[in-house]
Amino acid sequence: MTEFTTRPEILGTFGVVTSTHWIASAVGMAILEKGGNAFDAAVATGFVLQIVEPHLCGPGGDMPAVFYSAKKDKVEVICAQGPAPAGATIEHYTSEGLKLIPGDGLLATVIPGAFDGWMLMLRDYGTMSVRDVLEPAIYYAEHGHPMLARVSATIKGLANFFETEWPTSYATWLPGGVAPGAQSNFKNPVLAETWKRVIAEAEARTGRENQIEAARDAFYRGFVAEAIDRYVSTAEVMDASGVRHKGVLTADDMANWQATVEAPQTYDYHDWTVAKTPAWGQGPVLLQSLALLKGFDLSAMDPAGPDFVHVVVEAMKLAFADREVYYGDPDFAQIPTEYLLSEGYNAERRKLIGSQASLELRPGRVPGYDHQFDLTMGMLAEVSGKGAVYEPTMSHLTEKRGDTVHIDVIDRWGNMVSTTPSGGWLQSSPIVPGLGFALNSRAQMFWLKPGLPTSLEPGKRPRTTLTPSLALHQGRPTLVFGTPGGDQQDQWQLPFFLRYVHHKPNLQAAIDMPLFHTTHFPGSFYPRTSQPGNIMVESNIGADVLAELRSRGHQITVADPWSVGRLTAARRDADGLMRAAATPRLMQAYAVGR
């Protein structure tokens, strides 16, 4: 008898698209039906998610992607993570009276990266035009889309703040002074006009690639950058610090930046190779966790039992502790990733995983990094406290914080894309007049203490939590997967991947299994606090499992069933058969294919 799953594992040979919103997945599939490839589909899906999940991503945000191009026969990463502006210095921010960069407002803004990343993907790997990939987003901005209940609740919760402090956001999100109701047909006509103008400027040139370059120019060196500069240079807006601040982003910052293509960071785990972003994202955390867990017989453990949860959580605590000390932009600091992934290092670290939950933050000491270790630990001691605040996805956490979306696409030619766009949330920053979208708040990931890989510095990329995944099986690109969720992203992807590798359920069954994560280490988001020893676990894992975990010293926060994680995944078998799945949690994500 086939195991029951909340949805079928989607099977086909033509193509599959899975994302965190059913409309976006359908748009991606429509692009494949029109003859587009996985890259075209991912771009169109990404722009639609900015419309239908505006509390989770926007045009002013960022986008990392890890992907396989069949034509190049190569796995690569697109870094569309904008860096800090030229005026973003520690001296300036501390002179504004700040000890931490606030989680919203204009001082938290870095250069918007997503648009350039999408255009880079379209130009170098896609086949379609700017019009082809933007028209679905324009349709939903112009004709409307069903307002998600979560977005409606977010807007209602911020209505008074928007009216008082961010009037441009009030005009956009509460048209006529009325907050949109759940499932009401919501439109953003100003954003639709922005994209129409981008298309018009693109089509003033001939040739697909020339048009894409014209679109990039319109955004980064044309009317979009000019509107952003005009607004940021004059506006003083309220942020989480409780004080109004001006931003530092300029048109010059935008004009002089472009997204890049990079080699992924990889790790071999049994007969799989997992490809992630380098350490400007948190991707190597998953790889470090795998390096630690390689020494345990996970196949012999119940994948929803206390041994599995305990060992995985304890490994993640160690990996995330290292993230705090060692990760950052490799263009600005020496990141000891190879050492952190080495067998010798992990053999020693593995000994720290005992029968009881650790309540300490225990990064490892890497030779030559003692000063950085001591500086980081001293700083974390100053900001640590109860009440962790994480980039949330779940209803039992605050509605007023932003989050992320995820897309996985595989086409009939074997191209594979995993991408986790984020930032530019409706609650991150005021709407830029005349553009219909907000800027990001990614600078909150920097520290205002000099000498660290994550210290604020002009031109430096913030160490983000965005972490899409691609896995090769016996050297063949096979699986793409990911999830929104800030610091939880790799924490939800890890048990999914381990269960899939060791217990071989289908994709949907692996996604449906009870999830968990820890808030043991400092959060990446303002105000950067932590809850030592705490893990959040879905209650449907069972009372006996929860009791056993408590007996091992874990501080348990019990979550409602089906409330943790937003995983999606897609696979291509060696014979060309494709599979896709999406979480039933939040009742938004959907996989489609044929």
Residue by residue, DSSP assigns 10-72 as EEESSEEEEESSHHHHHHHHHHHHTT--HHHHHHHHHHHHHHH-TTT--TBSBEEEEEEETTT
Choose among 468, 494, 65, 511: nearest CA to 269: 494
pTM: 0.96
N-term to C-term CA, the chain:
24
Tokens linked to 470: 């691609």
The pLDDT assigned to 400 comes to: 43
The pLDDT assigned to 2 comes to: 62
The pLDDT assigned to 399 comes to: 38
Tokens linked to 279: 């350490």
Rounded to an integer, what distance in angstroms lies between the CA atom of residue 219 and that of residue 254?
9
Q: What is the mean pLDDT of residues 290-305?
A: 97
Q: Which residues are registered as beta bridge partners of 482?
A: 568
User: For 247, what's the count of Cα atoms within 13 Å in the CB-facing half-sphere?
Assistant: 30
Sequence-ordered list of residues with C-beta below 8 angstroms from that of 242, at least 6 positions apart, any chain:
none
Q: What is the mean pLDDT of residues 107-124?
A: 98
Q: What is the tens place of the pLDDT at every residue in 171-182? A: 999 999 999 999
Choose among 175, 42, 133: nearest CA to 482: 42
Q: What is the tens place of the pLDDT at every residue in 518-562? A: 988 887 777 777 888 999 999 999 999 999 999 999 999 999 999
399, with CB counted inside 10 A (0-12, 13-18, 19+), is middle
CB 559 within 8 Å of CB 537? yes
Rounded to an integer, what distance in angstroms lies between the CA atom of residue 174 and that of residue 188?
11
Tokens linked to 430: 């005021």
394 pLDDT above the threshold of 60: no
Q: What is the tens place of the pLDDT at every residue in 476-511? A: 999 999 998 888 899 999 999 999 999 998 999 999
Tokens linked to 388: 């962790």
- Please give the helix or strand (H or E) that residue 582 lies within, else none: strand 578-582
Q: What is the mean pLDDT of residues 258-285?
A: 97
Q: What is the mean pLDDT of residues 245-272?
A: 98
Q: Which residue has the tokens 């501080």?
A: 555
- pLDDT confidence of 152, banded at 50, 70, 90? very high
Tokens linked to 124: 């170098």
Which three-class secondary structure state does DSSP give residue 572? Answer: strand
